[in-house]
Amino acid sequence: MRIGAMQKFSMIDYPGKLAAILFTQGCNFRCPYCHNPELVDSALFAKPLEELDVLAFLNKRVGQLDGVVITGGEPTLHEDLPLLIKKIRSLGFLIKLDTNGSNPAMLRRLFAENLIDYCAMDIKAPAAKYQKITRSKVSIVAIKESIELIKEANIEYEFRSTLVDEMLSAEEVLEMGSLIGKAKRYFLQRFVSTKTLDASFRKAQPISDDTLKSLKAHFNTLLTECSLR
């Protein structure tokens, strides 16, 4: 397991919980607006943390933190993810997994073993634009399978989309909503310009607030909850 970094405390990454965050190295997507290039581009990888050190830290936080968020990069690329989660769960922590949804086989395994309490999946684009936006050979069949697995897993979950103005029109965001169907929670996230995987996106703009608000209003007629971030 390649854990590139750990954030020891967060009040915002696991809804309603105090959590630590583990960032895994490696991703099979190349979203140009990605704000974690050091977890995606192997040339930028830091020396991975020792798993024993991570577990020792978490052991000291038993009773102080509710859960652990495992994010990336793309955590499901790591075959030993279930093993790491079992070790963390044995300390009594809840687990939130962030995923790009490209590995439904791993999700199926994790859900079957009851290893996930909350799953957050990115919806990157409408089906026809998924490869273009992620700059990767993603299987839309796999993406749709992951969406259905998450909805049926009887766990807390959310879908979420980061919206960059020059990449997606409002009509395309509506198409993205149709991918998740009658899901419980969908978050529309404003793109925030910081460091990006593709340097030319550092000056990219989020979709306008007016458009976001009208998309939110539309999705709230279809879903249990649609909110802005």
Burial track 12-48 (b if 16+ CB lie within 10 A, e otherwise): ebbeebebbbbbbbbbbbebbbbbbbbbbeeeeeeee
Nearer to ligand SF4, 58 or 196 (CB): 196
Among 27, 65, 77, 163, binds ligand SF4 (CB under 6 A): 27
- Asked whether the beta carbons of 17 and 117 are under 8 A apart, the reply is no
Q: HSE on the CB side for 128, CA within 13 Å?
A: 5
Nearer to ligand SF4, 135 or 185 (CB): 135
**In the complex, least distance from residue 32 CB atom to ligand SF4, rounded to whole angstroms:** 8
**In the complex, least distance from residue 70 CB atom to ligand SF4, rounded to whole angstroms:** 13
- Asked whether the beta carbons of 21 and 7 are under 8 A apart, the reply is yes
Q: Is 29 a residue that touches ligand SF4 (CB under 6 A)?
A: yes
- Classify 193 as helix, strand or coil: coil
Kindly identify the residues of this chain, within the stretch 84-103, that bind ligand SF4 according to CB under 6 A: 100
Among 19, 20, 21, 31, binds ligand SF4 (CB under 6 A): 31
Which parts of this chain interact with ligand SF4 (CB under 6 A)? 27, 29-31, 34, 36, 40, 72-74, 100
